[in-house]
Amino acid sequence: MPSLDDSCKPTMTAKFLRATAAHLLSRLQQGSSHPPIELVYIPHKQWPLPHPLVDKPPTKRPVRISILDSSFNPPTVAHLALANSPRPNRTADDDSDYDAKLLLLSVKNADKTLKPGDATYLQRLEMMALLAKDIVTHNPSVSSQAEDNKLIPEELANVAIAITDEPTFVGKSKNLLDFLKQRYPSLAPSPHPDTQLTFLLGLDTLQRLFSPKYYPSEKAMIDVMNTFLSPEGDNSRVVCARRVSLQPSTPPKGGEPVAPEDALALAQDFITSERIFLINIGDNESKYSSSAVRNSIARLGFGASGKEGDVWKQYVPRGVADYITQEGLYVD
């Protein structure tokens, strides 16, 4: 079978994606991927470097890549809002967005296993492809090239799709950096560019990331986080979406979302040092979860337009809603 780079197409047809993904998923599950990362889709052969028709690779700073790592069961408007969030702490001197974006599906999760009624991994990848079509970039240079070069959305946002069997964020960070070091020699002349990864996640995931129960001790957890987030280590970053509290004990000032204190206490030093950024993605978006979609469909079915059972469709992008209906997903 040809490599992904050889067979990469400018559009993600279901036939192409399913055939490619099935092959790469099999390789990953058989332990044939070193490091355990497989690119299922890339918008052009130079990814994660900018599209050659849009921009030149950065030379005085790392290539910045955002990673939206989730189970995508299914992708929701919260996923889309996170993927579309601009790079934090931009300045007047450097207002550029991420150079590339990656939707990452882990086929091994520390807390979750595939359950009856869940979308298969291939179905999730197809929904991720639909999500990718709605992802945008905030890079001014890219926006000015959109009409001139007639690029498709995935090319403009420079968004790729990958799978891994590594369950931890720390492991994913290391594996992705190793993977890109292997990939860069064929993309860029020496010296190869540095890479800075930014993981996009929700507050519930941040709670798990900073939960001592997943580590031998609290000190061990902080040591691991220092390796993950410090400039001397992987130099990765985390962007976390705040969650709107539906029943706050104290009314939030100015309508600002409320995050539980226990989710942020151990992460506070990293927040202060701007290794972790807290962002708002919208009151409605922050409430919508994948489990809410699954539960709504299981309880009420798909529903006719305008009916109660149709409510779940506001939780997901339109293309994903159509796909769920066509595939008959999550019906109890």
- pLDDT the model gives residue 127: 95
Write the CA distances from 145 to 5, 135, 155, 218, integer angstroms.
24, 16, 11, 48
Once rounded to an integer, what is the mean pLDDT over residues 303-327?
84
CATH superfamily of 4-288: HUPs (3.40.50.620)
pTM, two decimals, is 0.88
At residue 3, does pLDDT exceed 60?
A: no
At residue 247, does pLDDT exceed 60?
A: no
Write the CA distances from 191 to 146, 209, 257, 259, integer angstroms.
30, 34, 44, 43
CA-closest candidate to residue 74, choices 117, 133, 22: 117
- pLDDT the model gives residue 109: 63
Confidence of residue 12 (pLDDT cuts 50, 70, 90): low
- pLDDT the model gives residue 13: 61
At residue 148, does pLDDT exceed 70?
A: no
- pLDDT the model gives residue 258: 33
List pLDDT tens digits, range 36-52: 999 999 999 999 999 88
List pLDDT tens digits, range 69-116: 999 999 999 999 999 999 998 888 888 899 999 999 998 765 566 677
At residue 163, does pLDDT exceed 50?
A: yes
- pLDDT the model gives residue 66: 98
At residue 306, does pLDDT exceed 70?
A: no
Delimit the domains of the chain by residue range.
4-288, 290-332
Single-letter amino acid code for the residue at 228: F
- pLDDT the model gives residue 112: 61
Question: In angstroms, rounded to a whole number, what is the distance separating the alpha carbons of residues 80 and 136?
Answer: 10
List pLDDT tens digits, range 217-242: 989 999 999 999 999 999 999 999 98
At residue 18, does pLDDT exceed 50?
A: yes
